[in-house]
Structure 1
Amino acid sequence: MVGCGITGEKFEPKITAMTVDDTSLRNRREILTYGGALGVAGLAGCIGTTDESEGSEDAYTIGMIDSRSGSLADFGERNQKAKEIALADVNEIGVKDKDLEILVEDSEGDIQQGVSAAQKLVNQDGVPFIIGAVGSGVSMAIYESVIQGTDTVQLSQNSTGLGLTDFPGLLRMSPSGRTQSIALADIISEDGYDEVAVTYINDDFGESLYDAFAEAYDGEVVYESAHDGEKSSYSSLVSQMDGSGADAWLCITYQTEFATMVTNMYEGGYEAQLYGADSNRGDSVLEGTPEGSMDGMKVVEPAAPEEQDNYKAFAAAFEDEHGEAPTAWSAFAYDCVITAALSIQAADEFTGAALQETVRDVTRPEGEAVFTYEEAHSILSDGGSPSDIDYQGVSGPIDFDENGDPRGSLKVIEVQDHAYVSIGSRQS
């Protein structure tokens, strides 16, 4: 890959000593400033525009940035399991007589680490397509600091923050969190609560979902407060929420933080009807909280079409391989891999510019509905064009709109006997 700079040497930005505890990194309005501090603003204009490599001799190589560790590791673990199933489905057939290979980097759920991972994949490894990331703030930081201004395709597997809609070049497989916020507002009102106390994680995901909720809620938000992540205790916060007098509490945060909050609530003897967004739910939350401490809580999250044949096949393969059922998040990760493979199969060459032309078309509703990689590959390998197929994912119809957002549906989860139980669905 051609380097950048007057001397022609490859530019190697130095990362300043910052941590995600710095609230400026949690706020989308500061991401561009942060990107400047990394020195990648100048880098972005020349990454991914000259590399026309066909990948390795035996494989096409793309990248994936996932939360292998940190507060979103539950998502990352499921994503990796789904990725392996998708790769097996793709490589059983091949992509233009090659395999698909995915280089995975860990974002740790951290903006700084996510940007560093993207720099490595794009600048050093030269991948033209990146799947990533999980956290919305991380996805946007990657796009604004590394991807924007290049031909590299970025497709997030799990980001639901409303801010992604402002960047049409940043695609995502999971639907916008706005639909969750509206559904939560409706459910809390339907449950008879005309007052609510709200806390939200101090980043774009939390801020944007709270803003959408406050706009949609018919009742009164009697308490609202942003909180920082990765704190050892939120006792003061839950005490203030209890002091608001609201019987309904909405927590928009991540799994690690929420487990700490619930434990603090339980230890303090506070009782409230709890509600949450998709990021609250996870096995680590159940494992990290006292038995019965969340019973009755309701969570709204994206839903997969569980009665659809391709989802059933995916779920069966997932359970056979991993001994557990997949989630909608697993399905999103699977569909990211399949969409990437179809984009490569349909493109004239293995470059970011060519993949930009095909990644949306292979899922558009104008084409023939296909439900597996094999069906789609058959049409493309027989001379079909990207617009001849409409891949219907195991997560449901994709159909990226002009903002890079997909379609989607929601389900409502309730905690019963310290376990998650689906109690209904809602259309987004």
Structure 2
Amino acid sequence: MMKQKSGRLATKLSTAIGLAMIAGTAAAQDCTTRIGAVLPTSVDWGRPIAETAQFVVEQVNEAGGVAGCQIEMVLRDTQVDPKVGVDAAKALVELDGVQLLLGAVSSGVSMPILTSVTVPGNVMQMSCCSSSTAFTKLAEEGKTGGLWFRTFATTGVQAAVGAKVASDQGYKSVAILYKNDDWGQDLNKLIAADFAALGIEVTAEVAINDGQPSYRAEVTSALAGNPDALYLGLYPNEGTAAVREWLSLGGTQNMIMANSLKSDEFRENVGLQYLGNALGTDTASPRVASADAFVALYKERFGGEPNGPGLSNSYDATMIALLAMEAAGKDATGEQIAAEVARVTDPNGTPVTADASGFAAARDVLAEGGSVMYQGATGNVRFDANGDVSAPAVVWKFTESGTEEVEYLSLTQVDDFIASLK
């Protein structure tokens, strides 16, 4: 079933590309360059991430493509499964010959792809959403080859803001349920330390595995310490099952959620009536004109607000990667594309907007040997030496129609709070 859904989406996206190429401007090209995308299209929160990336491709093709060729995004579903993700990435690199790979979302999927596919294959990998600090460590050890970038801030931001929420709410004790993968283990380690730094007792740290028929044993263990609140570092499928067990056993409705649960599926399957005291965290776009411009573009294209997780990050990841391809030139290798990322996110470069006209303007600047300052959905993106970014943060809650912002923390506020924990 999942593979069939993924295939239909891939077909729809390929059809959209074909129509864009036929109905495009007179400048339509007679060559095509493929890029790869490994994203979880078989889950409700993953499809919009893929659709947002495809939206960027449509705009770039409208602007004339990359290095004289139209772009075709070959999309494969990861099913949020490391083995499926690695197999998908191998097919894109070894069979389709892509030099640029977008994805994955989950750190537990991105990591094996990076270490076993893209780094050995000298392919650039740009993730919208993987946040584990394990990538930072790998880069510091020189094991990413400069081929890894992500437009989502590290897990440290979400952990710190989650701890701040608990402190602000006056919780004295918290139990943690976390997904038993690279991302969840990293998040659990960080937020447990942040809770401790704020004097909040962690009564239990319980790992949750995929696909179990029941989580009663794990939930019972988490309930044993009678915590004031529950922290959830889970995805919607196991998150829904675990929270249902938690509530049925008398657990508190005081919950703090990672951004992975910012999902209509989770809200609807648990029930809004049980989530009134639940607060979520996420990284956020800065309060700048380029972020507002993205929201307007998204609403025009999709008919609604970009409320799901990772959408602005997916937009920026795709646009920056394609700008780097443009800067690198036709038939560029993954290493050459990665080397140009700094030139298209140069704080001293010519400012360009994150749309078709901005891409066309960037092409002219780059052709003359200049650099550009990309101004996107998450602001003026800056990568450090490890391919990491910093970001503001937001606290949110569920509403009948989606989510609503409760508190916004600027980049300075986030950095200052993280510093105070140390």
What SS is found at the alignment partner of 2:203? Answer: strand
Partner of residue 81 from structure 1, selected from 29, 48, 51: 51
Select the residue among 106, 110, 117 that pairs with 1:139: 110
SS of 2:273's equivalent? coil
Q: 1:163 Cα shift?
A: 1.3
Q: CA deviation at 1:62?
A: 0.7
Shift of residue 386 of structure 1? 7.0
Give yes or no for the alignment of 1:180 onto 2:158: yes
Q: Which residue of 1 aligns with 2:375?
A: 392
TM superposition shift of 1:370: 2.1
Matches within 5 A, 1:52-67: 57-67=30-40
Distance 1:186 1:317 in 2: 33
The 3 A distance-change label for structure 1 pair 299 and 111 is same
Moved more, 225-234 or 137-146: 225-234
Give the alignment partner of residue 299 of structure 2, picking from 309, 314, 319.
319
Do 2:54 and 2:73's aligned partners in 1 also have CA atoms closer than 8 Å? no
Q: In structure 2, do the counterparts of structure 1 residues 262 and 203 end up closer, same or farther at CA, with 3 Å as the change threshold?
A: same
Q: What's the CA shift for 1:382?
A: 4.6
> CA shift at 1:372, angstroms?
2.5
Shift of 1:385: 6.1
Partner of 2:86: 115
Distance 2:58 2:400 in 1: 37
- Of 210, 215, 218, the residue aligned with 1:237 is 218
The corresponding residue for 1:337 is 318
How far, CA to CA, are the matches of 1:386 and 1:425 in structure 2? 39
1:195 aligns with 2:177: no
- Within 1, Cα distance between the matches of 2:276 and 2:81? 31
Q: SS of 1:406's equivalent?
A: coil
1:290 aligns with 2:271: yes
TM-score, length basis structure 1: 0.81
Task: Specify the code of the residue in structure 2 equivalent to 1:237.
Answer: E
- Other-structure match for 2:14: none
Contact 2:327/2:366, CA 8 A, preserved across alignment: no
Aligned to 1:48: none
Equivalent residues in 2 for 1:209-248, closer than 5 Å: 209-217=187-195, 218=198, 219-248=200-229
Local SS of the residue matching 1:413: strand
Q: Figure out how many residues of one structure are paired with residues of the other and give that number.
A: 369
Change (3 A) 1:315 1:103: same
Alignment map for 1:11-160 (pairs within 5 Å):
57-69=30-42, 73-94=43-64, 95-160=66-131
**Cα distance 1:267–1:144, how it changes in 2: closer, same or farther (>3 A)?**
same
Two-structure CA RMSD over aligned residues (Å): 2.1
Q: Name the residue aligned to 1:415.
A: 398
Equivalent-residue separation in structure 2 for 1:213 and 1:277 (angstroms):
11
Secondary structure (helix, strand or coil) at the match of 1:154 reads: strand
Mapped to 1, the partners of 2:203 and 2:179 lie a distance apart of 18
SS at match of 1:405: coil
Measure, in 1, the Cα distance between the counterparts of 2:404 and 2:223: 27
The structural deviation recorded for 1:381 is 2.2
Identity of aligned residues (%): 27
The answer to whether the 8 Å contact 2:172/2:228 transfers is no
Contact 2:272 2:399 in 1 (8 A): no
Distance of 1:260 and 1:330 partners within structure 2: 25
CA distance in 2, matches of 1:79, 1:417: 22
Asked if the contact 1:362/1:386 (under 8 Å) is kept, the reply is: no
Which residue number in structure 2 is paired with residue 32 of structure 1? none
CA distance change for structure 1 residues 380 and 323 in 2, over 3 Å: closer, same or farther? Answer: closer
